[in-house]
Amino acid sequence: MEEWVDAFLLHLQNKNFSPLTIKSYREDLEAFLAFFRKRGQNDIRYFTSTGIRSYLAALQMQKNPARNTILRKIASLRSFAAYLLEQGELRRNPFKLISAPKRQKILPKFLTVPETMRLLQTAAHTHMAPRDRALFELMYSSGLRRSEVTGLKIKDVDFFNGVVKVFGKGSKERVVPVTDMALAALKDYLACRPNPQPTDALFLNKNGKPLTGDGLAYIFKNTAITAHLARKITPHSLRHSFATHLLNNGCDLRSLQEMLGHKSLSSTQVYTHVSIEKLKSVYQHAHPKCKE
């Protein structure tokens, strides 16, 4: 079965799936294979409804299994099954009689405006301040994903029109507005770079190599610690903060969907729940009956 997993992952790569997505598929499918290896069942014929139910039952027996994690694993296996059906390796769909649990709604974790400003100010005083200031200002001004930021080239920034061209999930291109402050920070950073070329990566690590996703996460972790932010901060925290702050200040959902690069409006609507929570908090502190 390992050979078919490798072939499936190569198929995803050829369809321009992002490296992070392919990594998730690989981890999910390898965990599935490991389960059957322990039972001495490593042949494609064991990829059946009964085998999948056994695997899902084992997952749910783990301590505090996260429902959305299990759903992601199911989605990976469904895609793998669809590929095997296309290749003629499976006669019937093993997921036809398997129903998945409903997705658990998790509100995105975001920073308050004062916390965000503290994070940006801290980034402007690191040992690589020109780069880090430009990095944080750009991410907060545009709500980019981690992979989108690390994939940017210098030529993708349009300083004249104040936008950045982004290649999102599935290599879909979109144009996102950027604040004047972020553009100024980017100009300052590039002025520190020796002979930057349009096709060079926009952000480099301390060794002059293109910044990776792991490198970006490391920068965020250290900057958050220096900023004395108690909660865990990831690159996605700024994306969530960008979306929440825009929505709280009157941005409409359709525009926000376009800027975030969401395929479905339902993905963007999760931020309306965050805004409602804010309204409820204000209401509970302000309404006389809530104080009794």
pLDDT of residue 54: 85
145 is catalytic: yes
273 is catalytic: no
pLDDT digits (tens, 9 = 90+) for 29-65: 998 888 887 877 666 776 888 888 888 888 877 766 6
CATH fourth-level superfamily of 2-86 = Tyrosine recombinase, N-terminal domain (1.10.150.130)
Give the residues of the chain that fall short of pLDDT 50: none
Q: Beta strand pairing status for 157-158 and 173-177?
A: unpaired
pLDDT digits (tens, 9 = 90+) for 219-240: 999 999 999 987 788 888 898 8
pLDDT of residue 209: 95
Catalytic residue among 131, 133, 146, 239: 239
Catalytic residue among 271, 280, 287, 291: 271
- Looking at 3.30.70.120, 3.40.50.300, 1.10.940.10, 1.10.443.10, the CATH number of the domain 113-283 comes to 1.10.443.10
127 is catalytic: no
pLDDT of residue 275: 60
pLDDT of residue 247: 83
Residues 6+ apart with CB under 8 A from 255: none
pLDDT of residue 105: 58
169 is catalytic: yes
Catalytic residue among 118, 221, 236, 278: 236
pLDDT of residue 151: 92
Catalytic residue among 67, 169, 193, 221: 169
CA atoms within 13 A of residue 122's CA, in its CB half-sphere: 17
Domain ranges in the chain? 2-86, 113-283
Catalytic residue among 133, 145, 240, 245: 145
